[in-house]
A and B are shown apart, each in its own frame.
Chain A
């Protein structure tokens, strides 16, 4: 009907708006021209320039290490909090715990960044740790941010009344600990993995919080990119965009393939 067509046009418009800038960014990565977004024939020279840009490579490597550490930290804390919130009906301070773990989700980045920096400064003044600011403080801050996302994902996964499965395990002779390890934990794995990935990308993409809490030794990839963008665009940025889109696309494709394989497997069992 008519409204269906309006919706389809809206979808086409929206997807166009989302994708055209991204695709142009990637397309012009292969242009030889020195000026970004100008076509000067096909060339891979900007990918070569990117590979030779030591400052960028170094920052990227640091970002990846911070993101991996922060995501792991987030998975542990967020996973534990999400599990407690979903499975332990009432315990002292449950509401407060839920509010605290979720707070970074709804706070503006500038507020989170500034308040965490002030906390690190106060902590150092009181205890001498963390000594100065840099990669470690960025990792701690990103871990806190990521834990909020992991907790939400885990809580949603466990909320589906699958408690009965644990009870079935215990009925079959498993102790609470064995039941947790053999039933609940496997149930949580997809949520933990999804949460880890979310926290990882969040950390890789964050500029604001990192800028506040970082120090001279903690220049991450977004910080390098931001100063480059402020000074003016270079075609290396296009090349980097192409590389990241390729990686992200490959990851999403892989995840979809894995999901499909699992679904086919599940159907095989069902039929």
Chain B
């Protein structure tokens, strides 16, 4: 069978590097941290003896530090996705209504910053926002403030960076939904007595809803686990789960606890992920 020749390597790869990692992650989360290399004891010891425990998960619930980090990540992801929709919707609408020939160029303008290196763009935000940065320099030079404003390492700086990184993810599905929409429908609504506002509310918005939800989730899901942007731009306390996981892994070398955090994050994201996949398969 020629099909097997193609399917066997694909299956082998996916089982080894997608399916197995999920199982192993859960396994290690049930294991225990030890001093050693690698620094953990798996839940199944020599001679197939069960030595795992739910201790790590108990820690997540008992220690507010971890529990709050999960909630905080969800809150930040929600704010980021909402901001991205708020800014992305008028953008997508303007692109979808632009002349066909210009749409490709406008989309390229939205996507190109995305190709310039994510870390470099965060570097630009540092350069703009820090105490000796461009914005504070301007404000002091103009005499608006005497002392530099604390802009960097704030929630605002973090959200600005997140928005910059994820805005294209919101614009694309919104554009896809809005460009499919027949403009005649809005005209029909107005012909039947709807003001432009009412036509937008009763026709355009409900028909763009799948795109709106997809755009929200496409930002929300990766933003919930984001590590780099909170690390580079955000405040140094009140950490979201991405940073806590990173700390547990790289600084405290508590691999089982980091794995438990990853599992907890996954559990929280399962509903949004399933919803997103349903939307994608319908489109």
Hey, which bits of chain A sit against chain B, CB under 8 A? Answer: 1-4, 6-11, 13-15, 17-19, 21-22, 24-25, 28, 35-38, 77, 80-81, 83-84, 88, 91, 93, 97, 99-104, 106-112, 114-116, 118-119, 121-123, 125, 140-141, 144, 147, 176-177, 201, 204-205, 207-208, 211-212, 222, 225-226, 229-230, 233, 237-238, 240-241, 244-245, 248-249, 251-252, 256
In the complex, A58→B127 CA distance in Å? 25
A and B contact pairs by CB, cutoff 8 A, 28 listed: A3-B196, A7-B97, A13-B90, A14-B167, A19-B109, A24-B127, A37-B134, A38-B132, A81-B10, A91-B3, A97-B11, A106-B221, A106-B277, A109-B226, A109-B227, A110-B225, A111-B265, A115-B21, A115-B25, A116-B17, A122-B24, A144-B17, A205-B119, A225-B120, A229-B119, A238-B123, A244-B117, A252-B108
Alpha-carbon distance A233/B200, docked complex (angstroms): 46
User: Is B216 part of the contact surface with A, judged by Cβ < 8 Å?
Assistant: no
C-alpha gap A251/B168 in the complex (Å) = 19
Given A10-B93, A17-B167, A111 and B120 contact (CB-CB distance below 8 Å): no
Q: Give the size of the chain B interface in residues (CB under 8 angstroms).
A: 87
Cα(A252)–Cα(B115), bound, Å: 10
Q: Which residue on B lies nearest to A6, using beta carbons?
A: B90
Picked from A2, A7, A24, A125, the residue with its CB within 8 Å of the CB of B124 is A24
Question: B18: CB under 8 A from chain A?
Answer: yes
Give Cα A135 to B267, complex, Å. Answer: 31
Contact indicator B13/A77 (Cβ below 8 Å): yes
Pick the residue among B21, B104, B113, B164 that contacts A119 (CB under 8 A).
Answer: B21
Are the CB atoms of B222 and A109 closer together than 8 Å? yes
Interface string of B112-130 (1 = CB under 8 A from A): 1101111111111111101
Beta-carbon contact of B246 and A110 below 8 Å: yes
What separation, in Å, do the CA atoms of A38 and B127 have in the docked complex?
Answer: 9
B45-53, B59-67, B254-262: which one contacts chain A?
A: B254-262
**Min C-beta distance of B275 to chain A, whole Å:** 11
Q: Are A241 and B116 also in contact (CB < 8 A) when A21-B164, A108-B221 are?
A: yes
Contact B21 A208 (CB under 8 A): no
B8 to chain A, nearest CB (A): 10
Listed from nearest, the 5 A-B pairs whose CB atoms lie closest are A108-B225, A10-B90, A7-B94, A115-B21, A11-B94
Distance between Cα atoms of A1 and B190 in the complex (Å): 13
In the assembled complex, the CB of B94 is this many whole angstroms from the nearest CB of chain A, namely 4
Within 8 Å by CB of B18, from A13, A15, A25, A104, lies A104
Report the separation of the CA atoms of residues A104 and B19 in the bound assembly, to the nearest whole angstrom.
Answer: 11
What is the minimal beta-carbon distance from B16 to any residue of chain A, in angstroms?
7
Return B246 CB to nearest CB of chain A, in Å. 7
Chain A contact residues: helix, strand, loop or mixed: helix
Contact with A along B255-283 (1 / 0, CB 8 A): 10011001001100100010011000000
Q: Does B262 contact A111, Cβ atoms closer than 8 Å?
A: yes
Chain A residue with Cβ nearest B6: A80
Residues in B neighbouring A116, C-beta threshold 8 A: 17, 21
Query: With the chains together, A125 CA to B112 CA distance in Å?
Result: 43
* Residue contact B228 to A248, C-beta cutoff 8 Å: no
| A207 & B94 in contact (Cβ 8 Å cutoff) | no
Other-chain residue from A3, A100, A107, A211 in contact with B14 (beta carbon distance below 8 A): A100
Residues of chain A within 8 A (CB-CB) of B226 are: 108-109
A133 to B13, CA, bound (A): 18
- Contact yes or no, A205 B118, CB < 8 A: yes
- Chain B residues closer than 8 Å to A226, beta-carbon distance: 119, 228, 232
| Cβ–Cβ contact B112 & A248, under 8 A | yes
Distance A88 CA – B1 CA, assembled complex (angstroms): 13
**Which residues of the partner chain A approach B273 to less than 8 Å between Cβ atoms?**
106
- Assembled-state Cα–Cα distance A260/B46 (Å): 63
- Alpha-carbon gap, A107 to B270, bound state (A): 9
Which of B121, B127, B273 is most buried by chain A, counting CB atoms within 10 A of its CB?
A: B127
Give chain A residues whose Cβ lies under 8 Å from the Cβ of B250: 211
Instruction: Chain B residues near A1: list those with CB within 8 A.
Output: 196
Are the C-beta atoms of B14 and A14 separated by less than 8 Å? no
Q: Does B38 contact A (CB under 8 A)?
A: yes
Contacts of B21 in A (CB 8 A): 112, 115-116, 118-119
Chain A residue with minimal CB distance to B115?
A: A248
CB <8 Å contact, B116 and A24: no
Partner of A230, one of B120, B232, B262: B232
Choose among B20, B93, B110, B227 the residue that contacts A15 (Cβ–Cβ < 8 A): B110
